[in-house]
């Protein structure tokens, strides 16, 4: 499955400044593994030492926060948009 990943500013050093990059995978975990292949180092920024999503990062597959879905096992259908976004405060 081919998806488009939206990269936050603080991770763009890994993508040569690009704000969107393509990736492959049927689940979010596979997409992150594929990102790591092409942009070495990026997985360790998004995942903690235990391999889980860091607690201050929000990931959306299309419009759904993956914590409402299956976390790293959330399916990433062909053509999906994946967004990685730092948590923000306020209101």
Partner 1 sequence: MAVQTVANTADATGSTTPAPDLGPAAALSCRECGERFPLGPIFACVSCFGPLEVAYELPAGGPEELRRRIEAGPKNIWRYAPLLPVPADVAGKPSLNPGFTQLVQADNLARELGVTGGLYIKDDSGNPTHSFKDRVVAIAVEAARAFGFTTLSCSSTGNLAGAVGAAAARAGFRSCVFIPHDLEQGKVVMAAVYGGELVGIEGTYDDVNRFCSELIGDPLGEGWGFVNVNLRPYYGEGSKTLAYEICEQLGWRLPDQIVIPIASGSQLTKIDKGLQELIKLGLVEDRPYKIFGAQAEGCSPVSAAYKAGHDVVRPVKPDTIAKSLAIGNPADGPYVLDIARRTGGAVEDVTDGQIVDAIKLLARTEGIFAETAGGVTVGVTRKLIENGVLDPALTTVVLNTGDGLKTLDAVAPTSGPTATIRPSLEAFRAAGLATD
Residue 87 in the binding site for ligand PLP (CB under 6 A): no
15: left (phi over 0), alpha (psi -120 to 50) or beta: alpha
Answer for which of 43, 45, 69, 75 binds partner 1 (CB under 8 A) is: 45
In the chain, what are the helix, strand and coil shares in percent, each to the nearest 5? Answer: 25, 30, 45
What residues make contact with partner 1 under the rule CB under 8 A? 6-10, 13, 19, 45-46, 54-58, 60, 63, 65, 67-68, 83, 85-91
What residues make contact with ligand PLP under the rule CB under 6 A? 90-91
């Amino acid at each position: 499955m081919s998806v488009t990943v939206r990269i936050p500013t603080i991770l763009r050093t890994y993508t040569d400044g690009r704000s969107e990059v393509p990736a492959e995978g049927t689940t979010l975990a596979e997409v992150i593994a594929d990102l790591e292949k092409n942009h070495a180092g990026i997985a360790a920024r998004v995942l903690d030492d235990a391999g889980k999503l860091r607690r201050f990062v929000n990931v959306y597959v299309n419009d759904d926060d993956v914590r409402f879905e299956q976390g790293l096992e959330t399916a990433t259908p062909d053509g999906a948009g994946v967004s990685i976004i730092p948590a923000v405060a306020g209101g």
